[in-house]
Copies of this chain bind each other. A is one copy, B any other.
Amino acid sequence: MTEDDLTPRERRAARARETILDTARQMISERGAHALSLREVARRSDYSPAGLYEYFGNKDELVAAVIEQGFERFSRYMRSVPIDLPPRTYLLELGMAYIRFAIENPQHFMLIFNTPDMHAHKSEDEFIAEGTHHLLVKGIQRCLDTGEISNHYQLDDLVFAAWATVHGMSTLIVSHLSQDDRDWLASSRTMLEAWCRGISSAP
């Protein structure tokens, strides 16, 4: 993937960066992003607080790196859905992958989709997010093409509603209903199927 002709020094630096990043990632999935302390990261990875600044410009850049990792992980969930499924099934499974990611990585889901500072992640994350977003757009477009979704609705509105539904389900499950031990994946699937059927025909 990447160029492997790195000097030992560069390879060492990359490894150190990765170590620090892993520590931060683990601390975030343990206690959430709001409780991340740079000094604690330094402590756990055997650096002095100042030492970290060799690898990350500041705290925001560190959590931005974790967010980027999270986006890649999220992207993997989404891309794992076979594209050769029937259009409506594909759409359904895409939504389920979204929700599965949230349930299996609650802290990272919160981190990458719920951070109040949208200024931090702009370049690379947006790029990856756009990539997965495109999967949704294409998926819906295919359903429109095959007539499995009524062309009475605009593509933009359909994308918005589909995204909102799975995002809302994910958010509710991980942040408000986590203690309730219902089978949320089953409920989500049932109601997503209903949603797909609902928009399959004109009013």
Binding site for B on A (CB under 8 A): 32-34, 110, 113-114, 116-118, 153, 156-158, 160-161, 163-169, 171-172, 175-178, 182, 184, 187, 190-191, 193-195, 197-199, 203
Contact = CB atoms under 8 A, between A and B. Distances in A.
A29 B160 CA distance: 26
Contacts of A172: 160, 163-164, 167
B161 A191 contact: yes
A118 B176 contact: yes
A86 B50 CA distance: 64
A107 B193 CA distance: 33
B160 A164 contact: no
A161 B198 CA distance: 13
Given A153-B194, A164-B168, 16 more contacts: A34-B116, A110-B116, A113-B175, A118-B175, A156-B182, A160-B169, A160-B187, A160-B191, A161-B169, A163-B168, A164-B165, A164-B169, A166-B168, A167-B172, A171-B171, A195-B195
